[in-house]
Amino acid sequence: MPERNKTVQQKLTELSELVEWFQGTDFKLEAAVNKFQSAEKLAAEIEKDLTELKNEISVVKKRFDSQE
Amino acid sequence: MDEVLLSVSDFVAVTNQTLEYAYPMVSVVGEVAEYRVSQGKWVGFKLKDSGAVINCFAGIYQMRTPLEDGMKVIVVAQPRLNAKGYFNLNVKAVKPVGEGSIKKGFELLKAKLDAEGLFAAERKRVLPRVPQRVAVITSTESAAYADFCKIVNERWGGLAIDVAHTQVQGMPAPDQIIRAIEYFNGLDTLPEVLVIIRGGGSAEDLATFNDEPLTRAIASSRIPTLVGVGHEIDHTLADMVADVRAATPTHAAETLVPDRGEIIRRAQAQAQSAGNLLVQAIDHYSQQTRQNLEAAFRRTQERLDATVDRLDALRGVVAQLNPEHVLRRGYALVRGDIRPGKVIEVEMYKKIITAEVQNAREK
């Protein structure tokens, strides 16, 4: 199940940080497989979130054709 | 009919009453002449055509676009006879008509706002990359609005969009849009972006977006503004003062939110690149391990070879010490008591001889 408590933007940031970790000096082979699985999971969640999300469009009831 | 005797004042009042009844408001088209501003508050000019001329008066606040002599305008006004006997049009609204006058009005206001720095790049605010809450001002009956919604829904989700329905052309439009801008700017929680859109139209249709008070309202909005009016070739003062100008309403939708398909592809590519980096790292470590093993094997082999060589050398030495070799060279091995008369055994390479000692002396 996608993590609903995180926004898509947060997940995108997390994914970018994971990829940077692979290119950084903190890289350790022992941790890399788990990190890669996390990256794959995040990418899947982002796709699911973005596909499912709908916009809520509502027209303001207030009328603007007079000073009221 | 009985003759009614009126005072001058009464006559003026009755005339005005009649005018108000017959012509509560008139729209008159003509050319501006002798335009002047008094005390920074009052505007006076003559409106003329080839056959007639009439005086016009207005408060400066009613002038929504700068005027200049020679411009063709429509004046919306109340006809009045004043106490000094002059017949005037009390102007409520003025708008340029005809391509030349609209362009002239546009250029005059543009120069004025430019001088005030309203178009300066440093005033422009950056829109959030992915807004959560958006306000839109447009006519909800327009095709532009339908296009905008379609593109936004295709590209992104999770937005809360509040839409203010206003006219987007005609005399009432600027004030309606200004009220909508004020409404959104007065909310306790401000939207992150204020979008103003309108589809294409004639220069007169788009003139709403060259209205001075509207332009100033957009410029002073607390909410960052995104304005998409008309087609790509249309430039209005509203989009020039906006924080971000979109060429069309569709382009406004594309500017407002990223494309979810593109984001998904990018996320997948990022995960893929992490996988590639992992494979590269594994390859690198494997190669390093293989190289280390090969080096260890080479060192072991070298040591083994050295030991074998040493063993061979020792074997040679040991072989040299073998008595067989001595016997082969013609020497003999003597065993037994070597005192005279005793029997000894003499071992040669091929034979063993038994002999008696005849003599034994010191060398």
- A43 and B268: CB-CB below 8 Å? yes
| Alpha helices, DSSP H, located in chain B | 8-22, 99-115, 143-155, 173-185, 203-206, 212-219, 237-241, 249-256, 260-321, 323-328
B180: tokens are: 């909508």
Q: Please report which confidence band the pLDDT of residue A1 belongs to, taking 50, 70 and 90 as the band edges.
A: very low
Residue of B nearest to A64 (CA): B176
Please report the pLDDT score of residue A29 as a whole number: 84
Percent of chain B surpassing pLDDT 70? 99
Interface test with A, best of B264, B273, B280 (most A CBs within 10 A): B264
In whole numbers, what is the pLDDT of chain B averaged over residues?
92
- Compute how many other C-beta atoms are within 10 angstroms of the C-beta atom of residue B306: 10
Whether the predicted pLDDT of B24 surpasses 80 = yes
Q: Token digits for B333?
A: 């091995």
Q: Is the pLDDT of residue B15 over 50?
A: yes
Q: Which of A11, A50, A51 to mutate to test the interface with B (most CBs of B within 10 A)?
A: A50
How far is the C-alpha of B152 from the C-alpha of A57, rounded, in Å?
Answer: 10
Choose among B157, B160, B162: nearest Cβ to A60.
B162
CB contact under 8 A, A36 and B278: yes
Provide the shortest C-alpha distance from residue A61 to chain B (in Å): 8
Report the relative pairing of strands B87-96 and B53-59 from DSSP bridges. Answer: parallel
A66 has a pLDDT exceeding 80: no
Q: Using an 8 Å CB-CB cutoff, list chain B residues near A58.
A: 160-163
Which residues in B lie closer than 8 A to residue A39 (C-beta atoms)? 270-271, 274-275
Residue-wise pLDDT tens digits, B286-343: 999 999 999 999 999 999 999 999 999 999 888 888 888 888 889 998 999 989 999 9
**Mean pLDDT score, B29-57:** 94
* C-alpha to C-alpha distance for B240 and B206, rounded to whole angstroms: 14
Of the candidate ranges A40-44, B154-158, B256-260, B320-324, the one whose mean pLDDT is the lowest? B320-324
- Tell me what pLDDT residue B180 has: 97
A46 contacts in chain B (CB < 8 Å): 263-264, 267
* pLDDT (tens digit per residue) in B179-231: 999 999 999 999 999 999 999 888 888 889 999 999 999 999 999 999 999 88
CA of B265 vs chain A CAs: smallest distance (Å): 9
Residue B131's φ and ψ, nearest 5 degrees, are: -75, 155
The interface predicted TM-score (ipTM) is 0.81
Give the A-side interface with B, CB within 8 Å: 8-9, 12, 15-16, 18-19, 22-23, 27, 29, 32-33, 35-36, 39-40, 42-43, 46-47, 50-60, 62, 64-65, 67
- Write the DSSP string, B11-50: HHHHHHHHHHHH-SSEEEEEEEEEEEEETTTEEEEEEE-S
Statement: residue B60 has pLDDT above 50: yes
Q: Locate tokens 């390859």: which residue?
A: B283
Mutate to test the interface with A, among B187, B196, B270 (most CBs of A within 10 A): B270
pLDDT digits (tens, 9 = 90+) for B63-106: 888 898 999 999 999 999 999 999 999 999 998 888 888 888 88
Which stretch of DSSP H or E encloses residue A51?
Answer: helix A29-52
Cβ A55–B278 below 8 Å, yes or no? no
pLDDT per residue over A20-54, tens digit each?
A: 998 888 888 889 889 999 999 999 999 998 888 89
Burial degree of B171 (CB within 10 A; 0-12, 13-18, 19+): middle
pLDDT band at B1 (very low <50, low <70, confident <90, very high): low
pTM: 0.71
Cβ contacts from A onto B, under 8 A: 113
The answer to whether B152 contacts A55, with C-beta atoms less than 8 Å apart, is yes
Chain B neighbors of A9, CB-CB under 8 A? 129-130
Distance CA B288, CA B249 (A): 58
